[in-house]
Amino acid sequence: MERRKFLKNSSTATAALVATPFLTSCKEDAKPAKTVKNTKALYPIVICTWNFMNASAKAWEVLNSGGTALDAVEQGVKVEEDDVNNQTVGTGGRPDRDGNVTLDACIMDKDGNCGAVLAMQNIANPISVARKVMEDTPHVMLAGQGAEQFAYEKGFEKVNLLTEQSRLEWLEWKKTSEYKPIINIENHDTIGMLAIDKNGDIAGGCTTSGMGYKMAGRVGDSPIIGAGLFVDNEVGGATATGVGEEVVRTVGSFLIVELMRQGKSPQEACEEGVKRIMAKNEGRNDFQIGFIAINKQGETGGYCIQAGFSYRTYSEEGHIDNPSESYIS
Ligand code: SD4
Protein backbone atom coordinates (compact mmCIF):
# COMPACT_ATOMS: atom_id res chain seq x y z
CA MET A 1 0.00 0.00 0.00
CA GLU A 2 2.69 2.40 1.07
CA ARG A 3 4.75 1.52 -1.99
CA ARG A 4 1.79 2.07 -4.36
CA LYS A 5 1.19 5.46 -2.77
CA PHE A 6 4.87 6.32 -3.17
CA LEU A 7 4.88 5.28 -6.83
CA LYS A 8 1.71 7.26 -7.50
CA ASN A 9 3.09 10.34 -5.82
CA SER A 10 6.46 10.06 -7.47
CA SER A 11 4.94 9.68 -10.94
CA THR A 12 2.85 12.80 -10.30
CA ALA A 13 5.99 14.55 -9.12
CA THR A 14 7.87 13.43 -12.23
CA ALA A 15 5.08 14.67 -14.47
CA ALA A 16 5.16 17.97 -12.63
CA LEU A 17 8.91 18.20 -13.03
CA VAL A 18 8.66 17.53 -16.74
CA ALA A 19 5.78 19.96 -17.17
CA THR A 20 7.19 22.77 -15.07
CA PRO A 21 9.90 24.05 -17.39
CA PHE A 22 7.42 24.10 -20.25
CA LEU A 23 4.77 25.91 -18.25
CA THR A 24 7.29 28.31 -16.83
CA SER A 25 8.70 29.18 -20.21
CA CYS A 26 5.22 29.63 -21.67
CA LYS A 27 4.18 31.91 -18.86
CA GLU A 28 7.30 34.01 -18.56
CA ASP A 29 8.28 34.28 -22.15
CA ALA A 30 6.27 33.02 -25.08
CA LYS A 31 9.43 32.73 -27.15
CA PRO A 32 12.18 31.32 -24.91
CA ALA A 33 15.54 32.75 -25.80
CA LYS A 34 18.45 30.69 -26.94
CA THR A 35 21.25 31.07 -24.45
CA VAL A 36 25.03 31.18 -24.19
CA LYS A 37 26.53 31.74 -27.58
CA ASN A 38 30.00 32.78 -26.54
CA THR A 39 31.40 30.31 -24.08
CA LYS A 40 35.13 30.54 -24.59
CA ALA A 41 37.07 32.14 -21.76
CA LEU A 42 39.31 34.79 -23.21
CA TYR A 43 41.13 38.03 -22.47
CA PRO A 44 42.27 40.68 -23.23
CA ILE A 45 38.95 41.42 -24.81
CA VAL A 46 36.69 44.39 -25.44
CA ILE A 47 32.97 44.37 -26.02
CA CYS A 48 30.70 47.27 -26.94
CA THR A 49 27.10 48.02 -27.74
CA TRP A 50 26.13 48.16 -31.39
CA ASN A 51 28.46 47.54 -34.26
CA PHE A 52 31.13 50.10 -33.46
CA MET A 53 34.09 48.74 -35.37
CA ASN A 54 36.38 51.76 -35.08
CA ALA A 55 35.74 52.25 -31.37
CA SER A 56 36.33 48.61 -30.53
CA ALA A 57 39.41 48.55 -32.77
CA LYS A 58 40.84 51.52 -30.87
CA ALA A 59 40.18 49.85 -27.53
CA TRP A 60 41.74 46.64 -28.81
CA GLU A 61 44.83 48.55 -29.93
CA VAL A 62 45.26 49.80 -26.36
CA LEU A 63 44.71 46.35 -24.85
CA ASN A 64 46.91 44.60 -27.39
CA SER A 65 49.81 46.88 -26.64
CA GLY A 66 49.56 46.06 -22.92
CA GLY A 67 47.38 49.01 -21.88
CA THR A 68 44.86 48.94 -19.06
CA ALA A 69 41.17 48.21 -19.46
CA LEU A 70 40.48 51.72 -18.16
CA ASP A 71 42.58 53.37 -20.89
CA ALA A 72 41.04 51.05 -23.47
CA VAL A 73 37.44 51.99 -22.71
CA GLU A 74 38.23 55.70 -22.50
CA GLN A 75 40.11 55.72 -25.80
CA GLY A 76 37.58 53.41 -27.42
CA VAL A 77 34.41 55.33 -26.68
CA LYS A 78 36.10 58.63 -27.52
CA VAL A 79 36.11 57.49 -31.15
CA GLU A 80 32.31 57.66 -31.14
CA GLU A 81 32.23 60.92 -29.17
CA ASP A 82 34.34 62.44 -31.96
CA ASP A 83 32.32 60.96 -34.80
CA VAL A 84 30.05 63.78 -35.97
CA ASN A 85 27.91 61.29 -37.86
CA ASN A 86 26.92 59.47 -34.69
CA GLN A 87 23.90 61.47 -33.59
CA THR A 88 23.57 59.80 -30.22
CA VAL A 89 27.04 60.45 -28.80
CA GLY A 90 29.29 63.48 -28.33
CA THR A 91 29.74 66.04 -31.10
CA GLY A 92 26.88 65.75 -33.58
CA GLY A 93 24.51 64.35 -30.95
CA ARG A 94 20.85 65.28 -31.20
CA PRO A 95 19.94 68.24 -29.01
CA ASP A 96 17.25 68.46 -26.37
CA ARG A 97 13.94 70.02 -27.32
CA ASP A 98 15.38 73.50 -26.78
CA GLY A 99 18.21 72.88 -29.22
CA ASN A 100 20.99 72.29 -26.67
CA VAL A 101 23.24 69.24 -26.94
CA THR A 102 23.74 67.88 -23.43
CA LEU A 103 26.06 64.93 -22.85
CA ASP A 104 26.08 62.15 -20.24
CA ALA A 105 28.94 59.75 -19.54
CA CYS A 106 30.38 57.55 -16.84
CA ILE A 107 33.41 55.36 -16.29
CA MET A 108 34.26 52.69 -13.73
CA ASP A 109 37.55 50.97 -12.93
CA LYS A 110 38.74 47.69 -11.47
CA ASP A 111 38.74 49.05 -7.93
CA GLY A 112 35.14 50.18 -8.02
CA ASN A 113 36.11 53.82 -8.49
CA CYS A 114 33.75 55.70 -10.74
CA GLY A 115 33.06 59.11 -12.19
CA ALA A 116 30.27 60.66 -14.21
CA VAL A 117 29.13 63.85 -15.88
CA LEU A 118 25.47 64.60 -16.47
CA ALA A 119 23.82 66.99 -18.91
CA MET A 120 27.12 68.69 -19.70
CA GLN A 121 27.27 71.13 -22.62
CA ASN A 122 30.05 72.41 -24.90
CA ILE A 123 32.65 69.72 -24.12
CA ALA A 124 33.56 67.17 -26.77
CA ASN A 125 34.76 64.25 -24.63
CA PRO A 126 32.54 63.69 -21.60
CA ILE A 127 34.12 60.27 -20.95
CA SER A 128 37.46 61.96 -20.24
CA VAL A 129 35.81 64.52 -17.97
CA ALA A 130 34.09 61.63 -16.15
CA ARG A 131 37.49 60.03 -15.66
CA LYS A 132 38.83 63.29 -14.23
CA VAL A 133 35.86 63.44 -11.85
CA MET A 134 36.80 59.93 -10.73
CA GLU A 135 40.51 60.58 -10.38
CA ASP A 136 40.77 64.22 -9.33
CA THR A 137 37.73 64.97 -7.16
CA PRO A 138 36.18 63.54 -4.01
CA HIS A 139 32.91 63.14 -5.94
CA VAL A 140 31.34 60.64 -8.31
CA MET A 141 29.02 62.86 -10.36
CA LEU A 142 29.13 66.43 -11.62
CA ALA A 143 26.14 67.87 -13.47
CA GLY A 144 25.39 70.70 -15.84
CA GLN A 145 27.35 73.91 -15.46
CA GLY A 146 29.40 72.50 -12.59
CA ALA A 147 30.63 69.71 -14.85
CA GLU A 148 31.37 72.14 -17.67
CA GLN A 149 33.24 74.52 -15.36
CA PHE A 150 35.27 71.60 -13.97
CA ALA A 151 36.14 70.53 -17.54
CA TYR A 152 37.51 74.02 -18.35
CA GLU A 153 39.58 73.93 -15.18
CA LYS A 154 41.05 70.65 -16.37
CA GLY A 155 41.99 72.12 -19.74
CA PHE A 156 39.11 70.95 -21.93
CA GLU A 157 38.13 73.36 -24.69
CA LYS A 158 34.74 74.88 -25.34
CA VAL A 159 33.29 73.51 -28.59
CA ASN A 160 30.01 73.71 -30.45
CA LEU A 161 28.46 70.23 -30.27
CA LEU A 162 25.48 70.99 -32.52
CA THR A 163 26.29 70.06 -36.09
CA GLU A 164 24.38 71.51 -39.00
CA GLN A 165 22.72 68.17 -39.69
CA SER A 166 21.48 67.79 -36.11
CA ARG A 167 20.35 71.43 -36.06
CA LEU A 168 18.33 71.06 -39.26
CA GLU A 169 16.73 67.83 -38.03
CA TRP A 170 15.85 69.53 -34.76
CA LEU A 171 14.20 72.41 -36.63
CA GLU A 172 12.20 69.86 -38.59
CA TRP A 173 11.24 68.06 -35.38
CA LYS A 174 10.04 71.33 -33.86
CA LYS A 175 7.25 71.48 -36.44
CA THR A 176 5.42 68.73 -34.54
CA SER A 177 7.44 68.67 -31.33
CA GLU A 178 6.37 65.10 -30.75
CA TYR A 179 8.60 63.17 -28.36
CA LYS A 180 8.33 59.67 -29.76
CA PRO A 181 11.64 57.80 -30.07
CA ILE A 182 11.69 55.42 -33.01
CA ILE A 183 13.00 51.98 -32.19
CA ASN A 184 16.47 51.26 -33.61
CA ILE A 185 16.36 54.35 -35.80
CA GLU A 186 16.62 57.32 -33.48
CA ASN A 187 18.56 57.24 -30.26
CA HIS A 188 20.29 53.99 -30.99
CA ASP A 189 23.98 54.66 -31.04
CA THR A 190 24.92 55.11 -27.41
CA ILE A 191 28.17 53.36 -26.75
CA GLY A 192 28.70 51.25 -23.65
CA MET A 193 32.02 49.45 -23.56
CA LEU A 194 33.56 46.81 -21.26
CA ALA A 195 37.16 45.62 -21.41
CA ILE A 196 39.40 43.10 -19.69
CA ASP A 197 43.13 43.76 -19.91
CA LYS A 198 46.02 41.31 -19.90
CA ASN A 199 46.03 41.31 -16.09
CA GLY A 200 42.41 40.19 -16.06
CA ASP A 201 41.18 43.53 -14.74
CA ILE A 202 37.85 44.92 -15.90
CA ALA A 203 36.74 48.49 -16.62
CA GLY A 204 33.78 50.05 -18.38
CA GLY A 205 32.59 53.30 -19.92
CA CYS A 206 29.32 54.59 -21.31
CA THR A 207 28.66 57.83 -23.19
CA THR A 208 25.65 59.41 -24.91
CA SER A 209 23.83 62.58 -25.86
CA GLY A 210 20.73 60.89 -24.46
CA MET A 211 17.32 60.66 -26.04
CA GLY A 212 16.92 63.16 -28.87
CA TYR A 213 14.58 66.10 -28.13
CA LYS A 214 14.38 65.20 -24.45
CA MET A 215 13.28 67.80 -21.90
CA ALA A 216 15.98 70.22 -20.81
CA GLY A 217 17.83 68.70 -17.87
CA ARG A 218 16.70 65.15 -18.59
CA VAL A 219 19.28 62.51 -17.70
CA GLY A 220 18.93 58.85 -18.66
CA ASP A 221 20.67 55.71 -17.50
CA SER A 222 23.98 56.13 -19.30
CA PRO A 223 25.85 58.21 -16.67
CA ILE A 224 24.19 56.48 -13.72
CA ILE A 225 26.48 53.92 -12.12
CA GLY A 226 24.49 50.71 -11.69
CA ALA A 227 21.96 51.61 -14.38
CA GLY A 228 23.83 52.32 -17.63
CA LEU A 229 27.07 50.72 -16.45
CA PHE A 230 28.42 48.60 -13.65
CA VAL A 231 31.70 46.82 -13.10
CA ASP A 232 32.74 44.52 -10.28
CA ASN A 233 36.25 43.24 -10.89
CA GLU A 234 35.51 40.01 -9.02
CA VAL A 235 32.53 39.18 -11.20
CA GLY A 236 32.25 41.10 -14.48
CA GLY A 237 30.57 44.11 -16.01
CA ALA A 238 27.42 45.15 -17.83
CA THR A 239 26.23 48.15 -19.80
CA ALA A 240 23.06 49.27 -21.53
CA THR A 241 21.61 51.15 -24.46
CA GLY A 242 18.05 52.18 -25.17
CA VAL A 243 15.32 53.99 -23.27
CA GLY A 244 17.18 54.97 -20.14
CA GLU A 245 14.15 55.53 -17.93
CA GLU A 246 13.38 51.81 -18.03
CA VAL A 247 16.98 50.82 -17.33
CA VAL A 248 17.10 53.13 -14.31
CA ARG A 249 13.89 51.64 -12.90
CA THR A 250 15.49 48.21 -12.64
CA VAL A 251 19.08 49.38 -12.01
CA GLY A 252 19.78 47.17 -15.01
CA SER A 253 23.57 46.88 -15.18
CA PHE A 254 23.98 46.29 -11.46
CA LEU A 255 21.25 43.66 -11.65
CA ILE A 256 23.08 41.85 -14.44
CA VAL A 257 26.39 41.83 -12.58
CA GLU A 258 24.65 40.51 -9.47
CA LEU A 259 22.97 37.78 -11.53
CA MET A 260 26.41 36.77 -12.82
CA ARG A 261 27.67 36.74 -9.23
CA GLN A 262 24.92 34.25 -8.47
CA GLY A 263 26.18 31.97 -11.24
CA LYS A 264 24.39 33.04 -14.38
CA SER A 265 26.38 33.35 -17.60
CA PRO A 266 26.61 36.83 -19.15
CA GLN A 267 24.04 35.74 -21.73
CA GLU A 268 21.59 34.39 -19.15
CA ALA A 269 22.05 37.48 -16.98
CA CYS A 270 21.29 39.84 -19.89
CA GLU A 271 18.18 37.86 -20.73
CA GLU A 272 16.97 38.03 -17.14
CA GLY A 273 17.65 41.79 -17.10
CA VAL A 274 15.43 42.32 -20.14
CA LYS A 275 12.72 40.06 -18.70
CA ARG A 276 12.63 42.09 -15.48
CA ILE A 277 12.01 45.22 -17.54
CA MET A 278 9.32 43.56 -19.62
CA ALA A 279 7.61 42.28 -16.48
CA LYS A 280 7.23 45.89 -15.38
CA ASN A 281 5.93 46.94 -18.80
CA GLU A 282 3.29 44.36 -19.58
CA GLY A 283 1.73 44.86 -22.99
CA ARG A 284 4.30 47.42 -24.13
CA ASN A 285 6.36 46.69 -27.20
CA ASP A 286 7.23 50.17 -28.33
CA PHE A 287 10.69 50.63 -26.87
CA GLN A 288 14.15 49.21 -27.17
CA ILE A 289 16.77 48.26 -24.61
CA GLY A 290 19.92 46.27 -25.21
CA PHE A 291 22.24 44.92 -22.53
CA ILE A 292 25.71 43.50 -22.94
CA ALA A 293 27.81 41.78 -20.29
CA ILE A 294 31.17 40.17 -19.72
CA ASN A 295 32.35 37.98 -16.88
CA LYS A 296 35.74 37.61 -15.25
CA GLN A 297 36.67 34.80 -17.67
CA GLY A 298 35.98 36.94 -20.70
CA GLU A 299 32.73 35.21 -21.61
CA THR A 300 30.28 37.62 -23.19
CA GLY A 301 26.58 37.94 -23.82
CA GLY A 302 23.94 40.35 -25.04
CA TYR A 303 20.19 40.54 -25.22
CA CYS A 304 17.59 43.11 -26.22
CA ILE A 305 13.87 43.74 -26.42
CA GLN A 306 13.51 44.36 -30.15
CA ALA A 307 15.36 42.65 -32.98
CA GLY A 308 18.05 44.77 -34.58
CA PHE A 309 20.54 45.18 -31.76
CA SER A 310 24.04 43.78 -32.01
CA TYR A 311 27.25 44.05 -30.05
CA ARG A 312 30.86 43.88 -31.12
CA THR A 313 33.61 41.87 -29.52
CA TYR A 314 37.30 42.32 -30.24
CA SER A 315 39.94 39.91 -28.98
CA GLU A 316 42.81 37.78 -30.24
CA GLU A 317 40.18 35.92 -32.22
CA GLY A 318 39.48 39.05 -34.23
CA HIS A 319 36.47 41.32 -34.26
CA ILE A 320 32.99 39.96 -34.43
CA ASP A 321 29.60 41.60 -34.80
CA ASN A 322 27.23 39.53 -32.66
CA PRO A 323 23.57 39.94 -33.65
CA SER A 324 21.62 39.78 -30.41
CA GLU A 325 18.65 37.57 -29.71
CA SER A 326 15.60 39.61 -28.81
CA TYR A 327 12.65 39.26 -26.45
CA ILE A 328 10.30 40.29 -29.24
CA SER A 329 11.12 39.11 -32.73
C1 SD4 B 1 19.45 57.41 -22.63
N2 SD4 B 1 20.27 55.17 -22.82
O3 SD4 B 1 19.79 58.58 -22.51
C4 SD4 B 1 20.35 56.47 -23.40
C5 SD4 B 1 19.97 56.52 -24.84
C6 SD4 B 1 20.58 55.45 -25.68
O7 SD4 B 1 21.24 54.67 -27.71
O8 SD4 B 1 21.03 54.45 -25.24
N9 SD4 B 1 20.63 55.60 -26.95
O10 SD4 B 1 18.40 56.99 -22.19
CA of 40 to the centre of ligand 1 (A): 30
pLDDT, average across residues 322-327 = 96
Q: Residues 106-165: pLDDT tens digits?
A: 999 999 999 999 999 999 999 999 999 999 999 999 999 999 999 999 999 999 999 999
Q: What is the dihedral of CA 295, 276, 226, 323, to 10 degrees?
A: 50
CA of 208 to the centre of ligand 1 (A): 6
**What pLDDT score was predicted for residue 61?**
98
**What pLDDT score was predicted for residue 179?**
79
Residue 121 Cβ inside 6 Å of ligand 1? The answer reads no
3-state SS class at 138: coil
Strands 114-120, 229-232: pairing kind? unpaired
pTM over 0.75: yes
Are 44 and 62 in contact by the 8 Å Cβ rule? The answer is no
Catalytic residue selected from 49, 91, 102, 190: 190
Q: Give the residue, out of 51, 77, 80, 208, with the most ligand 1 atoms within 8 A of its beta carbon, to mutate for a pocket test.
A: 208
- Beta-bridged to residue 289, according to DSSP, are 242
Half-sphere exposure in the Cβ direction for 127 (13 Å, CA): 31
Task: In whole angstroms, give the CA distance from residue 132 to residue 2.
Answer: 72
Residue 290 Cβ inside 6 Å of ligand 1? The answer reads no
- Residue 218 CA, closest ligand 1 atom number: 3
**What pLDDT score was predicted for residue 243?**
94
Q: Is 190 a catalytic residue?
A: yes
Are 291 and 240 in contact by the 8 Å Cβ rule? The answer is yes
**What pLDDT score was predicted for residue 291?**
98
User: 240: which residues sit within 8 A by CB, 6+ positions away?
Assistant: 49, 192, 206, 221, 222, 227, 228, 229, 247, 252, 253, 289, 290, 291, 292
Q: Residues 215-227: pLDDT tens digits?
A: 999 999 999 999 9
CA of 186 to the centre of ligand 1 (A): 10
**What pLDDT score was predicted for residue 307?**
93
**What pLDDT score was predicted for residue 217?**
97
Q: Residues 190-220: pLDDT tens digits?
A: 999 999 999 999 999 999 999 999 999 999 9
Q: Residues 169-197: pLDDT tens digits?
A: 999 999 998 877 665 555 568 999 999 99
CA of 82 to the centre of ligand 1 (A): 17
**What pLDDT score was predicted for residue 187?**
53
First to last CA, the chain: 52
How would residue 35 be classed by pLDDT, with cut points 50, 70 and 90? very low
pLDDT, average across residues 308-324 = 94
CA of 259 to the centre of ligand 1 (A): 23
pLDDT, average across residues 269-281 = 96
Residue 302 Cβ inside 6 Å of ligand 1? The answer reads no
Percent of the chain with pLDDT over 90: 81
**What pLDDT score was predicted for residue 83?**
96
Task: In whole angstroms, give the CA distance from residue 131 to residue 108.
Answer: 8
Strands 325-328, 300-306: pairing kind? parallel
AA identity, residue 291: F
Residue 81 Cβ inside 6 Å of ligand 1? The answer reads no
CA of 191 to the centre of ligand 1 (A): 9
Residue 187 Cβ inside 6 Å of ligand 1? The answer reads yes
Residue 208 Cβ inside 6 Å of ligand 1? The answer reads yes
Residue 189 Cβ inside 6 Å of ligand 1? The answer reads yes
Residue 223 Cβ inside 6 Å of ligand 1? The answer reads no
Taking 60 as the threshold, does the pLDDT of residue 36 lie above it?
Answer: no
Percent of the chain that is helix, strand, coil (3-state, to 5): 35, 25, 40
Mean pLDDT taken over the chain: 88
User: Architecture of domain 8-328 in CATH?
Assistant: 4-Layer Sandwich (3.60)
